[in-house]
Structure 1
Amino acid sequence: MKHFSSRLLALFYLLGASSLVLASSSTELNVSGLITPSACNTTLSSDGVVDHGRVPARSLNQYEFSVLPTQELDLNVSCNEAVLFVLVGVDNRADSSLGPGFYYGLGTNIHAPTERLGTIALAFREAMGDGERVLVLASSNKGETWFPESNAFPNNYMGFARPGTLVPEPHRLVNATLQINTSINAAAYLTLGQEVPLDGSIVLDLRYL
């Protein structure tokens, strides 16, 4: 089964031909993509911004993670007809993650770039599909198998189905609460003599199945 990102317009491949004896005088260009009659729009409340404000350095734990207050955003996926889709969390700060595969990165210290600032965890709560409660499903192998899981780990496929169903189903409208849990690394491992901006960046990518 092929998976297409909702943001994909066309994918270009430029392949250089080779020869065992002589250099070829030609090259090949392939253009591929997907024209779909269905379209979905994904939105988050507050424009997808979570702002923890100013966190005093003296309030951080010295040798343990400091857990910041949980934040929530309203997630809405609206399609022009029932569509089979998944949401995939893509970490734009993956190199700074302190728990790859489970947590998103919070960026690095701009004053000491080798210092990783902390972690972000995402979870879907109170999911509704077309007006009815739905089960949140996850796949860690690009849709080959599924299991109930509301935590949106990086790169996992997240789908929605009626309770008791272990395969994602098409929906026209899905609403959920996106729960964001942010933790700052132990202060003993950070240079905090100046203001340090938190810099988490995550894309919720909608992909059609």
Structure 2
Amino acid sequence: MNTYPRLLAIVLLLSNVTTAFAASFVEITVTGRLTPDACHVELSDEGMVDYGKIPAHTLNPNEFTMLPSRLLELSVQCSRPMLFALVGVDNRAESSLGPSVYSLGRNIHVPAERLGSVALSYRNPLGDALSMQALASSDNGETWAPAPNAPPRSYVGFAPPGDRQPDFIGQLSAQLQIDTAINFAQYLTLNQEVPLDGSIVLDLRYL
């Protein structure tokens, strides 16, 4: 007659033991992200070059009109010394006047008219506070040669003078020179205000 009460007492005891064990530990969660080493690129003035209003009568009808050169301060900050190159990408390539220059876009009133060109070049580069030279590659980094100019799709790396391969750099500073030319005025319809529309991306690529 007492078998059942004993069994019940044992079950209750085991239940209490289980509850005690459940309360005797806590869970630890460890989170985070492993991120690759990377470089950050900045340009002064947020990369904006504004020539303001350019009167049509000041443009040369029979040759390109060169606008004053402008300089932007370029800075590359890397988490550690790394091999990299900068590649210019022309967002208006369909209206370019040649393979070695970037485009100023088209006349919004007469889309067949191409407005002009932009040339980029690197001046006075410093890598980790040491004087550098710009090296250019037209074959995606296979071969390099000293050259300050940075035409579209060309790789530009940096190295100490005399070297022929880009060097590992942690901090780079340089001046990016922008040379802008307006197309022959005789090829442009200028009876309305026409905005210049150059758009270039500097793409940092790891080597």
SS of 1:95's partner is helix
Structure 1 residues 138, 36: CA separation in 2 closer, same or farther (over 3 Å shift)? farther
Name the counterpart of 1:54. Answer: 53
Q: Which residues of 2 match residues 28-177 of structure 1 at below 5 A?
A: 37-100=36-99, 102-177=100-175
Counterpart-to-counterpart distance in 2, 1:70 and 1:36: 39
Amino-acid identity (%): 57
CA RMSD of aligned residues (A): 0.9
Counterpart-to-counterpart distance in 2, 1:150 and 1:202: 17
Structure 1: 5+ residue stretches without partners: 1-34
The CA deviation string for residues 123-150 of structure 1, in whole angstroms up to 9 with x for no partner, is 0000000000001000000011100000
SS of 1:80's partner is strand
Q: Which of these residues, 176, 180, 194, is aligned with residue 182 of structure 1?
A: 180
Structure 2: 5+ residue stretches without partners: 1-33
- Structure in which a larger fraction of residues adopt helix: 2
User: How many Å apart are 1:36 and its aligned residue?
Assistant: 5.9
SS of 1:99's partner is coil
Counterpart-to-counterpart distance in 2, 1:152 and 1:170: 20
User: How many Å apart are 1:96 and its aligned residue?
Assistant: 1.2
**Displacement over 4 Å in runs of 4+:** none
- Structure in which a larger fraction of residues adopt strand: 1
In the superposition, the TM-score normalised over structure 1's length comes to: 0.82
Name the counterpart of 2:192. Answer: 194
SS of 2:148's partner is coil
In the superposition, the TM-score normalised over structure 2's length comes to: 0.83
Larger radius of gyration: 2
SS of 1:124's partner is strand
The CA deviation string for residues 5-36 of structure 1, in whole angstroms up to 9 with x for no partner, is xxxxxxxxxxxxxxxxxxxxxxxxxxxxxx86
